[in-house]
Amino acid sequence: MKVSETKKTQIETRSSPMQLILRYLDHCQKRTRLLLAGFLIFLSACSQESGNTTSITVATSSETTGGSVEKLSSARDLEWPLHNFDLYGSRFSPTDQITKDNVSTLTPRWLFQHGVIDGVSNQTTPVIVDEIMYITDSRGSVYAVDARNGHLIWTYDVTRLLGGGRREGYIFRHRGVAYDDGVVYTAAGSFMFALDAKTGEPIESFGEGGQASVILDVLQQKDPSIETAISVGYWFTTAPQIYNDVIYIGTTRSESHIAGGYVLAIDDKTGEILWHFNTVPQDESDQGWDIAGPTWVGGERNGGGIWETPSIDPELGMVYFAVGNPFGDSTKRDGMNLFTDSLIALTLDEGELAWYYQQVHHDVWDYDSGNQPVLFDMEVDGEPVKALAQASKNSWLYILNRETGEPVHPIIETPVSTETEIEGEEPWPTQPIPHKKNGERMEPVSPVFPTDIPAQHMEQNQLVEQFTPIGPNQIFAPGFGGGSNYGPLAYGKDTGYLYVNAIDQPFNSGRDPKGYFSAYDPTTGELIWRQIFEGYGQAGPVVTAGGLVFVGAGSNTAGYFYAFDAETGEELWRFNTGSGVFASPSVFSIDGEEFITVASGGGSRGRRGGDLILTFALPDW
C-alpha cells in the first residue's frame, strides 16, 4: 500500500481567479497570455451581487497556439446528465483524450461566475447535455451556459420563491440539478422546480407553474396545520435522481429536529407524490414501525435527514439511500435508533423496505451516512457480486451485497466503551467495524484515533478511542465533520478500485484539517494507495478511461484541484483555484475534445462560499 503526502508549497497571496489563471498559463505562448490579460479589466469590474454573471474564454485553438491535439476521445460526445453521472453513481467517465502522458499540460479553457456568494460553500456539480452546462448557486437558482465557452444562455432565480420561516441552522447550500427528456429539475428550499432545458421557462404542468411543494404535501397528510415545510425544519440540499419518469429524492435536516427524513418518489410530469418513506417511523401508520419503533425509547424520535442523491438499480428494481444522524436529547432515545445512520434499499415501484444496514448504533457523534451509495459489479472468489459501497462520517468503508444488504466481507460488531458521566445516557455496547476478506480490520478512510495534536493542546485535553461516549476535554477522531462527508465515491471500471475522499480533523484537535484521498480494492477490502493533502477532503472524485482520477481540496488558503494516476496514486497535475474545492467534478466531451469542470468557492467553516466554475481542456486544440 502506497501512502504519500503532497509536497508543501509556498502559500500564494490571495488573488482573483483571473490572476491565478494568468500565472498558471505563464508557460503558454505569448499570444494566449495577451488575450487573457485583455479580459482582466473586464473581470475585475464585475459586481459580486446576484444576477451579475461573468464568463471568460481562454483561446487555445491551433490558430493561436500553433499546435493541435492528434488524439480524440473515443467517447466523442459524452454527456453528464445526472448528479453523479449515472443511476449507479459510478462517476466513471469513458473519455480518454486526457491521459497520464498529457495531463500535465491541462489548462483552463473557460471560467464562469454567477455572482452569488452566500451559503457555506460552492457545492454544485455541473450537469452537461446537448452542449449546455447547468449549474446552481447555493440557493438552488439555475444557470445554463454554453459548454464550449461558458457564455450564459439563461438564468432561473428561485430566491423569491423559497418562502420564509426558515428554521435555525438553515444555511444556503446546493449540489446541482438533474436532466431528463428536455427538462431540468432543481430541488431548492423545500420545493421541486421543473424548467425547460432550452429556455429556462417553468414547466406549467408541473406543480403550480413549475414549482411543486412536495415536502409539504407529505407533511400535511399527518398534520394539515403545517403551513410551510421549511418552518418545521425540512428542506433539500441535493440533486434529485430520475428514472422512468419518476424523481427520487430525500429531505433533510436532522439538526432541525425533524420527525424523520422523508424519501420521496415524485411524478416528473405533474409533481405529484407517488409514495414516501419516513426514515424514522413515528407510529404504526409508517412503514417499518415494527422494526424501528422499539429502537427508540424515551420520547425522542427525531433526525434521519438525507443529505445526498440516491442510487438506482433498474434490474433489481431498487433505490438506495444513505440516511443521516439521529437528533435530540440522547438520554431520551435509548436504543439503536433505526433507521438513522443507515443504508436502506426500497423498491422503485411502491417504496417498500427491502433491507437496511445500520452503520452507527445510537449515534451521539454526528456520524451521518452522508454520500450517495455507489453500485458496481465485481467477482469475489470467482462468484459474481452485485455490490454497493458507501463511506460513513465514522471513517469506515462499507461494502455490501446490494441484493440482500449483507456484508461482502466481514463486518464485526466490536465492543466499545460505555462509560459515561451523562445521567440517563445508555451507550450502545458495540459498533460495526468493516474487515478485509482475510479477516484483518480494514484501513479506515481517515484516522479513527487523533494524530498530530499540538503538544500544548494536549496539556488540558485527553485523547480517547473512537465511539467513546461524549465527555469533557476529549479529543476524538473523526470529528463531527467526518470521515467521509457528502462527497460521493467513484468506481474505476478499468482499475476496479473505489476512490474515497475524507476529512481528518479530530474533535477539539487544535489544528487545521487534512484531506485523505484513497483507493481501495473492493474485492479484498485492501487499501491500495493514499494521498494526504492540506484542507478538507470533502469533495468527491471522478475517474476516467484515460487512467486518471481528479479530486479537489477544500483548503482555507489554496484550493487545489488534483489529477492522480488512478492505478498508482502518483500526483500528475495540480491547479490552484484560489479558494476551497468543496464540489465534485464532472467530465464531458464535444466532438472528441474532453473537458473537466469543477466548482470552486469556500474556506473554513463559517466563511462565505464562492461562485467560480472552471472548465479545463488540453491546450493545443
According to DSSP, the β-strands at 107-113 and 612-617 are: antiparallel
CA distances 332 to 295, 425, 453, 467, 540, Å, are 11, 8, 34, 19, 36
| Of 338 and 172, the one with more pLDDT | 338
Question: Which CATH number belongs to the domain containing residue 14 in this structure?
Answer: 2.140.10.10
Task: For residue 546, give its domain range.
Answer: 2-617
| % of the chain residues with pLDDT over 90 | 80
- pLDDT for 156 equals 98
**Average pLDDT score, the chain:** 90
- pLDDT for 56 equals 80
Cell digits of residue 152? 450564459
Cell digits of residue 370? 452522508
Cell digits of residue 374? 455507489
| Of 165 and 45, the one with more pLDDT | 165
How far, in Å, CA of 125 to CA of 296, rounded?
36
DSSP string for 214-230 = HHHHHHHHH-TT---SG
Q: What is the pLDDT of residues 349-387, one digit of tens each?
A: 999 999 999 999 999 999 999 999 999 999 999 999 999
Residue 79: pLDDT above 70?
A: yes
Residue 223 burial by Cβ neighbours in a 10 Å radius (0-12, 13-18, 19+):
exposed
Residue 20: pLDDT above 60?
A: no
pLDDT band at 50 (very low <50, low <70, confident <90, very high): very low
Number of domains in the chain: 1
Residue 27: pLDDT above 50?
A: no
pLDDT band at 586 (very low <50, low <70, confident <90, very high): very high
DSSP string for 290-357 = HHHGGG-BSS--EE----S--EEETTTTEEEEE---EES-GGG-BS--TTTTEEEEEETTT--EEEEE
Residue 31: pLDDT above 70?
A: no
> What is this structure's pTM?
0.92
- pLDDT for 547 equals 98
- pLDDT for 484 equals 97
Q: What is the pLDDT of residues 220-238, one digit of tens each?
A: 999 999 999 988 999 999 9
365: left (phi over 0), alpha (psi -120 to 50) or beta: alpha
Q: What is the pLDDT of residues 141-158, one digit of tens each?
A: 999 999 999 999 999 999
Q: What is the pLDDT of residues 164-201, one digit of tens each?
A: 666 655 667 899 999 999 999 999 999 999 999 999 99
pLDDT band at 70 (very low <50, low <70, confident <90, very high): low
Total residue count of the chain as it appears in this document: 621
